[in-house]
Amino acid sequence: MALANSVIWITGASSGIGEAISLAVSKLSNVKLVLSARRADELHRVAIATGLPASNVLILPMDVADLDSLPAHVETVRQRFGRIDYLFQNAGISQRSLVIDTNFSVYKQIMDVNFFGVVALTKAVLPLMLAQGSGHFVVTSSVAGKLATKQRSGYCASKHALHGFFDALRSEVYEAGLRVTIVCPGYIRTAISINALGPDGHTHGKMDENQEIGMAPEDFAQRLLRAVSKEKEEVYIGGSEIYGIYLKRFLPGLLSRILRNRKGV
Ligand SMILES: NC(=O)c1ccc[n+]([C@@H]2O[C@H](COP(=O)([O-])OP(=O)(O)OC[C@H]3O[C@@H](n4cnc5c(N)ncnc54)[C@H](OP(=O)(O)O)[C@@H]3O)[C@@H](O)[C@H]2O)c1
């Protein structure tokens, strides 16, 4: 697989999808891993679970919303491993609140983590990848990056924004040998709904039914790695909810009616 023999940096590596990607890539030969998220203790747990020697893993705790700190983290990775071949930008937070109820600060927090943090880290890594003449940005969007559902106005906006940014970047850096894959997961069985922000910024704290019956993150990770090794530009991974993306493209009026009549979260 193309990802073997490479330096792979994963944000949001402390749980869910990022943890599953970390474990999946650790099985490839001669991989050097950088694991990032805020919770250092959880990153240590994941690092041990990879079974990789300590010399091949850098645990790099960070808050992606602390935008000014990101260039220094890139420098730490460069000094340790000399290069960055794959950057999986997967850290993210969701939302469960109606527009009418949502404090503006919640929108700011979601955009800082899901969009501006991604833009800032991309810009910090880009000069190194351009100097290498290679590098692959893998970005976790969502089905909510292609269509919008109730109680996720800020989340959907942040994920839609990623598509605009990375579609532009992809064209700009293609000739320089860099690649961009955007992945839109459907419902994946993680803590995303538990960690989602409510109207005042407190966490939702509940496992939603759709997440509970969603795809296992391990299956998701395997499918994603296949898509990345084929340099797919955009990939949809999940259950039947993925068809919503095609409805949005070909029958937008029908999808709109379905979504406005939908009950619950
Ligand atoms: N699960 C789904 O159904 C689904 C569907 C579509 C898209 N997604 C996307 O998939 C990605 C991963 O989510 P998940 O499902 O695996 O949920 P999760 O289990 O809640 O994982 C979220 C990850 O993001 C990290 N994170 C959150 N805020 C951060 C910050 N400010 N700085 C650094 N790291 C931060 C968390 O680590 P710390 O708390 O340790 O910082 C955690 O590792 C997200 O971008 C999400 O939007 C998920």
What is the full DSSP assignment across 174-196? TTTTEEEEEEEE-SBSSSHHHH-
Q: How many domains does the chain have?
A: 1
Give domain status of residue 33, yes or no: yes
Ligand 1 centre from 176 Cα, in Å? 30
Joined tokens for residue 2: 């193309």
Q: Check 155, 174, 187, 243 and give the catalytic one.
A: 155
- At 88, list the tokens: 């999986």
What's the N-to-C CA distance of the chain in angstroms? 38
Question: What local confidence, expressed as pLDDT, does residue 89 receive?
Answer: 98
Please report, for residues 8, 145, 181, 230, 262, the alpha-carbon distance to residue 83 in angstroms, rounded to integers and kept in the order given.
Answer: 9, 30, 19, 21, 47
78, 128 Cβ separation under 8 angstroms: yes
Assigned domain for 1 exists? no
The encoded tokens of residue 167 equal: 């579609």
| Residue with CA closest to ligand 1 atom 36 | 12
With respect to residue 2, please indicate whether it lies within any of the assigned structural domains.
no
Residue at 141 is within a domain = yes
Ligand 1 atom closest to residue 189's alpha carbon, by position in its atom list: 1
Going from the first residue of the chain to its last (265 residues), give the mean pLDDT of each consecutive group of 10, the final group possibly shorter. 95 98 97 98 98 98 98 98 98 98 98 98 98 98 98 98 98 98 98 97 94 96 98 98 98 97 83
Fill in the DSSP letter of residue 102: -
For residue 12, being part of any structural domain is answered with yes
Domain residues for 107? 7-261
**CATH number for the domain that contains residue 133:** 3.40.50.720
* Gap from CA of 89 to ligand 1 centroid (Å): 10
The predicted pLDDT at position 265 comes to 72
**If you measure from the C-alpha of residue 28 to the centroid of ligand 1, how many angstroms do you get, rounded to a whole number?**
23
Residue 13 falls inside a structural domain = yes
Let me know if residue 235 belongs to a domain: yes
The strands making up 57-59's β-sheet, listed across from edge to edge, are 57-59, 32-36, 7-11, 86-89, 135-140, 178-185, 234-237
